[in-house]
Amino acid sequence: MANGVRIGIAGAGLGGVAAAGLLERAGFDVVLFDQAPAFSRLGAGIQFGPNVLKILAHLDGLDKKLEAISCLPDYWVSRKWDDGSVMAKIPLNAERERYGAPYITIHRGDLHQAMLDCISPERVRWGHKLVDFVDNGRDVTLSFENGKTETVDILVGADGINSCVREKIFGVSEAVYTGWIAHRAIIPGAAAKSLGADVNAKWWSDDRHIVCYYLDRNEDEFYLVTGEPAEWTSRAGQLPSSQDALREAFKGFHPLVQGYIDATDVVTKWPLKTRAPLPVWYQGRTVLMGDSCHPMKPHMAQGAAMAVEDAAVLARCLKELGTKDLDHTFRAYDEARKERATKVQSISNANTWLRQPEDPYWCYGDNVYDLAIG
């Protein structure tokens, strides 16, 4: 164990789970807390680029396990909303050797479960909503809604866009609604195939888009996720929606898109929120990562990717620079991550990624294990 140092992670989302797995392998005594009563299989898809797969390889070959069950698109195709003409065709697995790892699309629940399987189960505490913590300079005492307390040497805030950890450091502030929602639905892969689907495509009009891809190696499920301007007044993180709402929002889009919408059953909608970049990602014995410090609109499909990259760099900093001078270690982490995460946040929020032909190598080709730390 890394000098018996105990690290508490608030949030068992994709970022927190990656951090737990990597820190456990670096020899730390990790404990992962989440407010949810148990793991649940969120009905959504996710894309993970080669920049993330290179990190997941460090979780006992998780990259290979995911590759075996995921869809591996050769290209990303950007299409014009009405006539379907190709605006950009970007190599993904077609240039796998160049990027250094595969590009996968997968069911988010399957990905999350596979990542959780890489952590010793006794390290995960469901039903633990962090409500307060006190950093007394020597350690950090965590208080949970269920009345329990825990003492750790370091607290990692991986608790998402409404982070309690960020709030405690920087004060309470509402996330900013961007004026956009995302509709999400999964249709049978056979329905998509019979219509003649691209393996991974984004259909763009001037003010909205729909992204479509398979979720598994057998192409059994096909995922639709949109970005569209809409009002949002609810405090809920998601709401039920309908096929009719989707049809109305994408009226006039190409017949292939109409065919996908006709095949939907359960449709949900999500508000897309963001926050301004933070000046610093740490204070005392506490450090932030993922959506807790750089949430973004999801249009670059790199939000969770940035959380996993944060996890890997944080684990490297703690292991390589040690925990005696945390200010130095956390500053090195902050400096190593902030420029890239902020760049991705800004492009993702602008929704310009791969709309036109461009080389995504700076993003997908990156390997956080090549970074000079400190």
Sites of contact with ligand FAD (CB under 6 A): 10-16, 33-36, 46-47, 129-130, 158-160, 164, 182, 225, 270, 290-292, 298, 301-305, 307
Nearest distance in Å: CB 1, ligand FAD: 24
Task: Name which of 72 and 322 has its Cβ closer to ligand FAD.
Answer: 72
**H-run or E-run covering 119:** none
Nearest distance in Å: CB 130, ligand FAD: 4
Taking the CB of residue 350, how many other CB atoms lie within 10 A of it?
A: 12
Nearest distance in Å: CB 247, ligand FAD: 19
Nearest distance in Å: CB 295, ligand FAD: 7
| Residue 357: Cβ-neighbour burial (10 angstroms; 0-12, 13-18, 19+) | exposed
**H-run or E-run covering 138:** none
**Intra-chain end-to-end CA distance of the chain, in Å:** 22
- Provide CB contacts within 8 A for 27, sequence distance 6+: 1, 2, 319
The Cα 16–Cα 123 span in angstroms is 12
The Cα 246–Cα 64 span in angstroms is 36
Residue owning tokens 């410090």: 293
Nearest distance in Å: CB 237, ligand FAD: 9
- Provide CB contacts within 8 A for 100, sequence distance 6+: 50, 54, 365, 367
Task: Name which of 45 and 194 has its Cβ closer to ligand FAD.
Answer: 45
Nearest distance in Å: CB 194, ligand FAD: 25
